[in-house]
Amino acid sequence: MDGILPLWKPAGMTSHDSVFKIRKILRTKKVGHTGTLDPQVEGVLPICIGQATKISSLVMDSNKVYEAEVCLGISTETEDQDGQIVESRVVEGNLSIEQIETALKSYTGEIEQMPPMYSAVKVNGKKLYEYAREGISVERPKRLVMIHSTQLLSDKIEWSKDQDTASFRIRINCSKGTYIRTLCVDIGKALGYPAHMAHLVRTESGSFTREQTMTLDEVKEAQEQNKIQENLIPIDFALQKFDTLYINEKDSFRYQNGQVLPLPNPLPSTNPFRVKTKNDQLLALYQIHPTKGTLMKPFKMFAKEK
């Protein structure tokens, strides 16, 4: 059983819990996820099965798309709705959609972020949330992330009943490692208010979209009907961003055995690149040899389909 199962992870479950349940349903140990999704967040979580576990890191490094609700007027310790309130301020009634759109324009391209204290980033071998729970303040390492686009989804501002807070929804297309909580806080600062992330859903992860996903109940039903393999997405689908080198059948054994070979001419436009037979069977990912510039070597190998 090989392929990728795009799971719709429910809120209230960790990514590790999801993998455990999939292993139990499919009765196989070779299962891995493609990057953690916070327990309170629902959304697309590609699950790699069998040989697909070899490319989990590549899927993990792909872009993500999120839909978030930004709440102005309240900031919290955790930067989301579950944390204790740190600061509050009444949002003025003259706040406009135009002001929000202007603020969002500042958060596209490469930006610098400081990870929240309640995060799994490690400092001196210890996770930040462990320091936070102990009340210890430490210097957090800043990181550069890429925001490809930030789009306002709301056509009007949602005001709370007491009019103290204001909320709106945004869609973010971003690189791996982007903290959407922090982005929401920073957008609030740009508008002059404390803020937090009130809700978050991940709608895309790499090549995988919400429409392709299955729930855990649907996975269980497919397994009971012996239809799980037809619901798995081929490994090649997740590697679309890599160029392809097509080879003759007679040369396939050299690639299947992982031989170091001369670079092809013309050279594929990506590094690594896919190696496929003329009948479109994926054999391997190859890369330019790191020390021998005229040669190429295997990056990931895939066993021949039976």
Provide the pLDDT for residue 148: 96
What are the tens digits of pLDDT across the range 66-106?
999 999 999 998 899 988 899 999 998 889 999 999 999 99
Classify domain 64-201 at the CATH superfamily level.
Answer: Pseudouridine synthase (3.30.2350.10)
Q: What is the CATH number of domain 242-301?
A: 2.30.130.10
- The CATH architecture that domain 3-62+206-237 belongs to is 2-Layer Sandwich (3.30)
Catalytic residues, by residue number, are 38
- How many angstroms separate the CA atoms of 7 and 47, rounded? 7
Q: Delimit the domains of the chain by residue range.
A: 3-62+206-237, 64-201, 242-301
* pLDDT tens per residue across span 98-151: 999 999 999 999 999 887 767 777 877 777 778 778 778 787 778 899 999 999
- Fold: same for 3-62+206-237 and 64-201: yes
Q: Which pTM was predicted?
A: 0.88
